[in-house]
Amino acid sequence: MSSSSLSGARNKVKFVPCSAITFLDKPMGSKAPTFNTDTTSVSYTRSVGQSFALLCQAQAYPVPIISFIFIFKEPMGAKAPSFNTAANSISFTYAVHQKPIGAKAPSFNSVSTISGFSSKSSSDLVLLCQAQAYPVPIFSIHHMFSIRLKYVSVHFISQKISQNVYEMSYNLEPMGAKAPSFSNYIASLTIYRRYEPVGAKPPTFSEPIGSVAPKLSGDRLQEYTMNFHDSFALLCQAQSYPMPIFSIEINEISQGSPSVLHCPGQAYPVPLHRWYKFIDGTTRKQAVILNDRVKQVSGTLIIKDAVVEDSGKYLCVVNNSVGGESVETVLTVTAPLSAKIDPPTQTVDFGRPAVFTCQYTGNPIKTISWLKDGKAIDHNDPVLRIESVKKEDKGMYQCFVRNDQESAEASAELKLGGRFDPPVIRQTFPEETMEPGPSVFLRCVAGGNPTPEISWELDGKKIANNERYQVGQYVTVNGDVVSFLNITSVHANDGGLYKCIAKSKVGVAEHSAKLNVYGLPYIRQMEKKAIVAGETLYVTCPVAGYPIDSIVWERDNRALPINRKQKVFPNGTLIIENVERNSDQATYTCVAKNAEGYSARGSLEVQVMVPPQIVPFDFGSDIINMNDMVSATCTVNKGDMPLELYWTTAPEPKWGVGRLMTNDGILITKTTQRISMLSIESVHARHRANYTCAARNAAGVAYHTAELRVNVLPQIVPFEFGEESVNELEMVSASCTVNKGDLPLDVAWLKNGGRIYTNDGVVVTKTSLRMSVLTIESVRARHAGNYTCVATNNAGVTKYWTLLRVNVLPQIVAFDFGEESINELDMVSASCTVNKGDLPMDIYWTKNGGRLYTNDGLVVMRNSPRLSVLSLESVRARHAGNYTCVATNNAGVTKQSSLLAVNDSSTFVMFI
């Protein structure tokens, strides 16, 4: 930015123009000028020959117009000053550049808007305007001259005054939305002449006094919302001293619209502004990449045609030699919401998984919700997965995406495939009490589609056919299954809880009842019980005999329960919650007694198994650059042996699916039984994935997943202008498509190493975030050269170049045989020089349309690839005519002609 000066010699006033920064886009809104004090008058006293500066202490936006009109009033003394100029008033106005969009009211740091200064004679005094804003405010200072400013400090010097005193009056009322009132805020300036300063010499000011570290005036975190394809600007609200203190409002901007964001603060010396953007979901930040769409002007970050990817948290960092400061701004680019569910309909067999994916666009997305048959279900993720479809899962599913302004909805249908009738028990057997000896017949009838299979259990243990137990079944004409259990000559120890279980692929149904056989207490053998740590143990004592008076459980000869985790029920059931190896792994004894005091004992060994537990790991907090080395260590710190470890990149890890081996740059090393290391010596884009370590033992499986993020270099699809050279005036184009590489991405064009823009017949169009098209509507010779597409992202730079070859038509230098006619027998020649045009090239001569060769006194010589000389050693009348040089190459044909005129000497024949 530059300053404006008014310098003066005796009775003369000289004006120097003021220029300002032009902003590419405008901040939103406007702010009328205001003062933060009631006093708008200021007085100064200066000596003859002294320079001084006037400071207007209020600004606003739109850009201010500061008017100073110099008026010679009646002097205060015996005689008014005399001036050489005939005019008694002088005014001028400076041009104003295009105004930015956006607004910030001006404000002042100081308590008062009036300051007094004294300056040595013949020295300069600079008063720096202590209030600025964005957009730049409008000032109106009447009666001297007018200046329009943009972030400029107004520097001007008063005129030297004669012996007497004069008065300058001016009005400080800013010009805003309404016409200024000149009846208010009138301030006067009285200047006295004196030959020498009196007392101490006043100081000289050329810069603001002192230094101030950058200081923010607003909150450290600001939020903005804008529409898709809007343009906007982020203004860093920390400016040089004295600069405005800006405040930021929360804005909602549509995608594609313009917007301005500010960074509040002030400092002196003038600070340096830097803008950063945080990587989503992390505390890491990266510098904002500036390009044709994203520009920075002073502390303002201007972004054209906003896209959703521009959303996020931005950080403005301001530093000068005194200190530094920073402020955060949250920007949200809004776009209309839309949604669809994939697939829109699906048919799934019973027990098979079903997945619906809610695919949505727009921004921001505040909530995602699902409905089934119009009723809300407890699911808030974009993917709805049903692991095992049941009959009740059939129906219509709806996905809703919402924000504070709108919502979008999509629906899909889930249909059931195949046969879908779960088993049903139609006939059952009752509880019975009987004497030993007779046979027992238990019958169970079940139906379903598909036809279920029926099995039998006694106290939880499956019954197999033997000498006394016979199981059979058949299917009736209506599709029901009849199953029966025959027990020959029932004994007292055959008593217990009998259960029939009907099972098919679409469901399970069961029925149980007690069979009581009179006899002494008897406990069947119990097999070892293995249970995973943390689970709940359920076990029922398998008691036979009838009647039984009591059933108790013991451990180490102590009756249970002995703590709150243990529960014992009269029917012989023992429950232990949240089992632990140290406290619950043991041998438990069941004791059954009758009223006569007879008892039976049975032991149960409980083994508590500990499943694997993986120590969390990752690939580091930073995104990995290509060709870097990375590693991750999977450590299982808990879990029983033997232990199996492996790695996978499967999207939904399941044991044994997508097992990774040492291959493709990935090295997997099992350092111990509990540690496995995955390392990649040189990371490439193909290595980006979620890496899962899976650990399994007899107790279960554990998984831990870490994402490997790789900064992928842009990859440019090869392009060219065509296999053949292009003729002049033809149209050519080349498309630079970046099919791989992380966003944000900058795509630019170079010609012979220098960046090119839309200019000189070349049109550069960025059709998308990953494509830029270079077009030349009418090719000229100057367009030939090496064209390079440069794609840049956080991972680095990729270039691809192609050569544009232009077939240039030959250009023949004009020639002639001389200005005068040639006499016979004279010697004459003409040179056909082709100074432009591609080789190879053919040059030949014609006369009156016929091609010429060396003959009949005419000599045609090809001296070089671009020069042909035609010469006549002795011109004859027959040689007169129109000679044409013809030059041809791949681009076309060019001709240049000249007339050879011969003065014919007539021959006279005497006759009588």
Over residues 816-840, the pLDDT tens digits come to 888 777 888 888 889 999 988 888 8
Q: Above 70 in pLDDT, residue 646?
A: yes
* Residue 42 confidence class, pLDDT cut points 50, 70, 90: low
- The answer to the question of residue 276 being in a domain is yes
**Lowest mean per-residue pLDDT among 310-314, 590-594, 771-775, 905-909:** 905-909
Please answer whether residues 360 and 338 qualify as being in contact, where contact means their C-beta atoms are separated by less than 8 angstroms.
yes
Q: What are phi and psi of 427, to 5 degrees?
A: -135, 140
Please answer whether residues 591 and 604 qualify as being in contact, where contact means their C-beta atoms are separated by less than 8 angstroms.
no
Query: Looking at residues 135-143, what average pLDDT do you find?
Result: 46
Looking at residue 143, what is its pLDDT?
A: 35
Query: Looking at residues 528-544, what average pLDDT do you find?
Result: 93
* Residue 168 confidence class, pLDDT cut points 50, 70, 90: very low
User: Domain ends where: 182, 209, 236?
Assistant: 209
Looking at residue 167, what is its pLDDT?
A: 40
Count of H-run helices and E-run strands, the chain: 1, 75
pLDDT 10s digits, 392-416: 898 999 999 998 888 999 999 998 8
Looking at residue 782, what is its pLDDT?
A: 87
pLDDT 10s digits, 52-71: 555 555 555 565 665 544 44
pLDDT 10s digits, 174-198: 333 333 343 333 333 333 333 333 3
Q: Are strands 726-727 and 806-807 parallel, antiparallel or unpaired?
A: parallel
* Cα 567 from chain centroid (whole Å): 57
* Residue 202 confidence class, pLDDT cut points 50, 70, 90: very low
Whether 203 and 216 map to the same domain: the answer is no
Whether 128 and 43 map to the same domain: the answer is yes
Query: Looking at residues 354-369, what average pLDDT do you find?
Result: 90
The whole domain housing 286 covers 212-334
Q: What are phi and psi of 681, to 5 degrees?
A: -65, -40
Rounded CA-CA distance 645/501 in Å is 38
Please answer whether residues 13 and 6 qualify as being in contact, where contact means their C-beta atoms are separated by less than 8 angstroms.
yes
- The answer to the question of residue 909 being in a domain is no
- The answer to the question of residue 667 being in a domain is yes
Looking at residue 369, what is its pLDDT?
A: 92
Looking at residue 559, what is its pLDDT?
A: 93
Looking at residue 259, what is its pLDDT?
A: 52
pLDDT 10s digits, 266-276: 556 677 888 88
Q: Look at 25 and 776; give whichever has higher pLDDT.
A: 776
- The answer to the question of residue 912 being in a domain is no
Q: Above 70 in pLDDT, residue 253?
A: no
Query: Looking at residues 8-33, what average pLDDT do you find?
Result: 41
Whether 550 and 565 map to the same domain: the answer is yes
Please answer whether residues 247 and 238 qualify as being in contact, where contact means their C-beta atoms are separated by less than 8 angstroms.
no
Q: The domain spanning residue 227 has which CATH number? A: 2.60.40.10
Looking at residue 691, what is its pLDDT?
A: 92
Q: Which two tokens stand for residue 92?
A: 């001028």
Q: Above 90 in pLDDT, residue 247?
A: no
| CA nearest neighbour of 259 among 329, 177, 338 | 329
Please name every residue paired with 694 in a beta bridge, in sequence order, or none if there are none.
646, 703
Please answer whether residues 370 and 398 qualify as being in contact, where contact means their C-beta atoms are separated by less than 8 angstroms.
yes
Q: Are strands 881-889 and 842-847 parallel, antiparallel or unpaired?
A: antiparallel
What is the per-residue DSSP string for 426-474?
EE----EEE-SSS-EEEEEEEEEESPPEEEEEETTEE----SSEEEEEE
Looking at residue 40, what is its pLDDT?
A: 54
Q: Look at 236 and 767; give whichever has higher pLDDT.
A: 767
Whether 308 and 399 map to the same domain: the answer is no
∠ at Cα 659 (655, 660), nearest 5°?
150
Whether 867 and 743 map to the same domain: the answer is no
| CA nearest neighbour of 593 among 559, 546, 556 | 546
Rounded CA-CA distance 86/619 in Å is 82
Rounded CA-CA distance 224/882 in Å is 78
pTM reported for the whole predicted model = 0.44
Burial class of residue 555 (count of CB atoms within 10 Å of its CB; 0-12, 13-18, 19+): middle
* Residue 233 confidence class, pLDDT cut points 50, 70, 90: low
pLDDT 10s digits, 416-433: 887 678 899 999 999 999
- The answer to the question of residue 423 being in a domain is no
Q: Which two tokens stand for residue 286?
A: 């990266």
Looking at residue 51, what is its pLDDT?
A: 60
Looking at residue 158, what is its pLDDT?
A: 34
Q: Which positions ≥6 away from 682 have C-beta within 8 Å?
A: 627, 628, 629, 665
Q: Look at 506 and 166; give whichever has higher pLDDT.
A: 506
pLDDT 10s digits, 777-806: 888 888 989 999 999 988 889 999 999 988
Q: For the chain, how many residues are written? A: 912
Whether 15 and 82 map to the same domain: the answer is yes
Whether 17 and 107 map to the same domain: the answer is yes
Q: Look at 444 and 173; give whichever has higher pLDDT.
A: 444
- Average pLDDT across the chain, whole number: 76
Token pair 């209309």: residue:
336
* Residue 99 confidence class, pLDDT cut points 50, 70, 90: very low
Looking at residue 328, what is its pLDDT?
A: 84
Task: Give the count of beta carbons closer than 10 Å to the beta carbon of residue 763.
Answer: 13
Whether 528 and 587 map to the same domain: the answer is yes
Burial class of residue 723 (count of CB atoms within 10 Å of its CB; 0-12, 13-18, 19+): exposed
Looking at residue 817, what is its pLDDT?
A: 85
Task: Give the count of beta carbons closer than 10 Å to the beta carbon of residue 124.
Answer: 17
Q: Which positions ≥6 away from 551 have C-beta within 8 Å?
A: 541, 543, 570, 571, 572, 590, 591, 592, 593
Rounded CA-CA distance 797/715 in Å is 9
Q: Above 70 in pLDDT, residue 129?
A: no
pLDDT 10s digits, 666-716: 999 999 999 999 999 998 888 888 999 999 998 889 999 999 988 888 889
Query: Looking at residues 86-101, what average pLDDT do you find?
Result: 40
Looking at residue 118, what is its pLDDT?
A: 52
User: Domain ends where: 283, 316, 334?
Assistant: 334
Rounded CA-CA distance 617/677 in Å is 11
Please answer whether residues 174 and 140 qualify as being in contact, where contact means their C-beta atoms are separated by less than 8 angstroms.
yes
Residue type, 659: R
| CA nearest neighbour of 188 among 51, 39, 16 | 39
- Total domains in the chain come to 8
Rounded CA-CA distance 752/626 in Å is 28
Looking at residue 185, what is its pLDDT?
A: 36
Rounded CA-CA distance 487/467 in Å is 9
Q: Which two tokens stand for residue 232?
A: 């906007």
Q: SS3 letters for 223-292? A: EEEEEECCCEEEECCCEECCCCCCCCCCCCEEECCCCEECCCCEEECCCEEEEEEECCCCCCEEECCCCC
Whether 13 and 117 map to the same domain: the answer is yes
- The answer to the question of residue 846 being in a domain is yes
- The answer to the question of residue 910 being in a domain is no
User: Domain ends where: 209, 232, 257?
Assistant: 209
Whether 800 and 773 map to the same domain: the answer is yes
Query: Looking at residues 560-586, what average pLDDT do you find?
Result: 93
Whether 111 and 150 map to the same domain: the answer is yes
Whether 43 and 153 map to the same domain: the answer is yes
Looking at residue 34, what is its pLDDT?
A: 64
Q: Which positions ≥6 away from 240 have C-beta within 8 Å?
A: 266, 267, 268, 269, 270, 271, 320
* Residue 846 confidence class, pLDDT cut points 50, 70, 90: very high
Q: Look at 160 and 601; give whichever has higher pLDDT.
A: 601
- The answer to the question of residue 911 being in a domain is no
| CA nearest neighbour of 744 among 130, 286, 347, 316 | 286
